[in-house]
Amino acid sequence: MAGPPLVYTPPSYTTTNVLYGVGILFTAIPGTALPSDQNLGVASAWTALGWAYVGATEAGVTVTFNPSTQDINVEEQPTPVAVIVNTATLQITCSLSEETLTNVNLAWGNGGSVAVTPAGAGQPGKSVLTLSTNFASMACAVIGKNQSGFARVLSVPSVMSAGQVQTAYRRAAQQRLYPLTLNAVCPFSQITWTDLTAIATS
C-alpha cells in the first residue's frame, strides 16, 4: 500500500514588495534636521530646512554597501567558524546632469566656495567657484517611494564627496555629466532607514 502523496508547495511571494522608481538625493550641512515624519515625502519641507536637491541625474541614484570580511578558521573545519566585518563602506553615487557651480563643487569634493559678484557699472554679474582640497563633510538623504506609496528615507548624517570625476564635453552625444560619490564617514549606528507605513490616526 502506497504512503501519503509527496506534495510540493513553494511559498508565495509578494509582487507589491518589488519596488522601482527614482531616488531623490538631498544634501545639507551636518546637523541639519530632517522634516517631521508627516512631511518626509514633501520636497518643500526638506528645502525649507536647508536641504539642497541635487537635481536631475543621468541614471538615478545608487546606494552601495560594501563590507569586507575576515574569516576565522580552524584546522579541524573547512568552513570558517565565524566571519567578522573588517571594514565596511557605504557609498551613494549618481551622475549629476545639471551643471551648476554648486553641483560641480559637490562632485569635486565639496571643498570649494562660490563667490557671487552682482552686476554693476562696468562689472558683469558673476559667480566664481574657487576650488580647494579641504573637502567639507555634509549630510545626505535619499528619498524613495515604498510599497505603500509613502516615503522611505535613507539618512546618512555625515558623508564626504570623494570620487573620480570625469566630464566629457561632447557636441551631441550626451550631456555633460558630473559623477558624484558620497562616502559615509559616520558610525553605521547613525545611519537610518525610515519607512512611513500608515497615516496618522488623528
Binding footprint of other proteins on the chain (CB under 8 A) = 27-29, 31, 38-39, 42, 44, 48, 50, 52, 102, 110, 112-118, 120, 123, 128, 130, 132, 134, 136, 138, 200, 202
CA separation for the pair 127, 118 (Å, rounded): 9
Give me the residue label for grid cell 519596488.
19
Residues 6 or more apart in contact with residue 142 via CB below 8 angstroms: 23, 24, 25, 26, 61, 63, 92, 153, 154
Which CB sits closer to other proteins, 10 or 122? 122
Q: How far apart are CA 94 and CA 61, in angstroms?
A: 5
Work out how close the CB of 191 gets to other proteins at its nearest, in angstroms, rounded to a whole number: 19
What's the min distance (Å) between Cβ of 49 and other proteins? 9
- How many Cβ atoms sit within 10 Å of the Cβ of residue 156? 24
C-beta closer to other proteins: residue 21 or 122: 122
* 70 or 190: CB nearest other proteins: 190
User: Whole-angstrom Cα distance, residue 89 to residue 162?
Assistant: 13
Give whichever of 64 and 130 is closer to other proteins, judged by the CB atom.
Answer: 130
Nearer to other proteins, 138 or 154 (CB): 138
Residue 103 Cβ vs other proteins, minimum distance, rounded to whole Å: 12
Sign of CA dihedral 102, 107, 110, 114: negative
Q: Are strands 138-145 and 126-130 parallel, antiparallel or unpaired?
A: unpaired
| 3 state DSSP class of 35 | coil
Query: Residue 26 CB, nearest distance to other proteins (Å)?
Result: 11
In the complex, what is the shortest distance from the CB of residue 183 to other proteins, in angstroms, rounded to a whole number? 16
Smallest distance, Å, CB 9 to other proteins?
44
- Give the separation between CA 131 and CA 189, rounded to whole angstroms: 32
CB nearer other proteins, residue 10 or residue 117: 117
